[in-house]
Amino acid sequence: MRISNIVPDSASAKRYDLHSHSFYSDGTLSPSELVQRAHAAGVEVLALTDHDVTDGLGEAQTAAQQCGMNAIAGVEISVTWKNQTLHVVGLNINPDHPGLQQGLARLRQFRAWRAKEIGRRLEKKRIEGAYAGAARLARGAIIARTHFARFLVEQGYVRGFPQAFRQFLSRGKPGFVPGQWATLEEAVKWIVTAGGQAVVAHPARYKLSAGKLQQMLGEFQECGGEAIEVVCGSHTPEANLHFAGISREHGFLASAGSDYHGPEQTWMDLGKLPSLPEGCTPVWRDWNVYATAPREALA
């Protein structure tokens, strides 16, 4: 472990990226590749937050120790709230917590059924072999809509991800299957009982009215949610500022994450996140992260 110079320095302005994916969910890199790329891009504290699964966390931790950076154990939990899908990120979770793992296992069971159902629905639209194709691209890991999107692009049904989602995979489209994910309360409970902090992911991306968003944030806070992603790879600069204001008004801690999925498929590249707007209290306020090895130390 390259932490000869152990200095808890939660107050310093390290570069945090607290939302990213590996091929254990719908990213394209291995956890080690992800960590190495993040390190090379100047990220000093990285959370791997795969959808509904924690299988990549051990490898991420080992890779981070090897290059002298901090890996945070995370997860991104799928939630159904008033017929909408929301994502709640858990940070600094204990991945071995049985309650968390039982909950995630249930979501993965739904995912497995849903993947077959998406395949059946696409078949009715004369798209053959979508389930098998998505499963092949998922390489034995969980199957996400992202894998269907990749299959549709690969087979020439669509030109890119935006079209795949717009035409086939979004709500109301032929391949859309309504979610039966965790309740908001369950997701927060699993995270908190596993010792973690619950964070509303990419709040600007939900199709909720201002009133419903306030209601959701209120419920989230009531059941123990602490933070929202103020700065996010899929947010506009205006959205970052807007949610900075909301975090202050509601007394939420502020998180920052790129939501990186891989070099060819991403909202924003690693190492490019803007800093938190002024007046935000960082979600990492009380964390003990360690002095990070200089990038030049990389072999």
Residues that bind ligand AMP (CB under 6 A): 26, 51, 78, 144-146, 161-162, 165, 261
Q: Which is nearer to ligand AMP, 51 or 189 (CB)?
A: 51
Q: Which residues contact 120 (CB under 8 A, 6 or more apart)?
A: 131
With CB under 5 A as the contact rule, which of the stretches 94-102, 104-112, 160-168, 251-259 interacts with Mn ion?
251-259
Among residue numbers 256 through 275, which ones bind Mn ion (CB under 5 A)? 259
| Partner in contact with 161, chosen from Mn ion, ligand AMP, none, beta carbon below 5 to 8 Å by kind | ligand AMP
Tell me, what amino acid is at 173? K
Q: How far is the CB of 144 from ligand AMP (least distance, A)?
A: 3
Q: Closest separation between CB of residue 165 and ligand AMP, Å?
A: 4
Backbone Cα Rg of the chain: 19
3 state DSSP class of 48 = strand
Name the residue nearer to ligand AMP (CB basis): 27 or 282.
Answer: 27
The DSSP code for 182 is B
Q: How far apart are the first and last CA of the chain?
A: 15
9, 264 contact by CB (below 8 A): no
Distance in angstroms (rounded) separating the CA atoms of residues 84 and 226: 21
Closest residue to ligand AMP: CB criterion: 144
Residue in the shown chain whose Cβ atom is closest to Mn ion: 87
| Residue 100 C-beta: closest distance to ligand AMP, Å | 18
Contact between 235 and Mn ion by CB under 5 A: the answer reads no
Per-residue tokens: 174: 């032929």
